[in-house]
């Protein structure tokens, strides 16, 4: 039972937290110095490109 919980944490919760930290914290924070709308658009674009890359990698497996 504990193995299932650890697996779920490792494969679902931790990546989600890291993803939010990278895209909402680091990237969005860096571009907020320019302009809010540009920061939101750039952060969203980079996140969608990242998701697309995951789908491409998974489809080739």
pLDDT above 70 (res 7): yes
Diameter over CA atoms, the chain: 48
**Which residues fall within 8 angstroms of residue 42, CB to CB, at 6 or more apart?**
27, 31
Residue 34 domain-assigned (yes or no): yes
pLDDT at 56: 62
pLDDT above 80 (res 17): yes
pLDDT per residue as tens digits for the range 26-56:
877 787 778 888 888 888 888 888 777 666 6
Which among 23, 27, 29, 25 has a CA at the least distance from the CA of 51? 23
Residue 28 domain-assigned (yes or no): yes
Residue 48 domain-assigned (yes or no): yes
Residue 10 domain-assigned (yes or no): no
Cβ atoms within 10 Å, residue 12: 10
Which structural domain, as residue segments, surrounds residue 54?
Answer: 17-59
Give the Cα separation of 36 and 54 in Å (integer).
Answer: 27
């Amino acid at each position: 039972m504990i193995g299932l919980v650890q697996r779920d944490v490792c494969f679902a919760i931790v990546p989600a937290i890291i993803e939010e930290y990278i895209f909402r914290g680091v990237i969005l924070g860096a571009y907020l110095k320019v302009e809010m709308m540009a920061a939101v658009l750039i952060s969203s674009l980079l996140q969608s490109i990242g998701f697309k890359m995951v789908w491409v990698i998974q489809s080739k497996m």
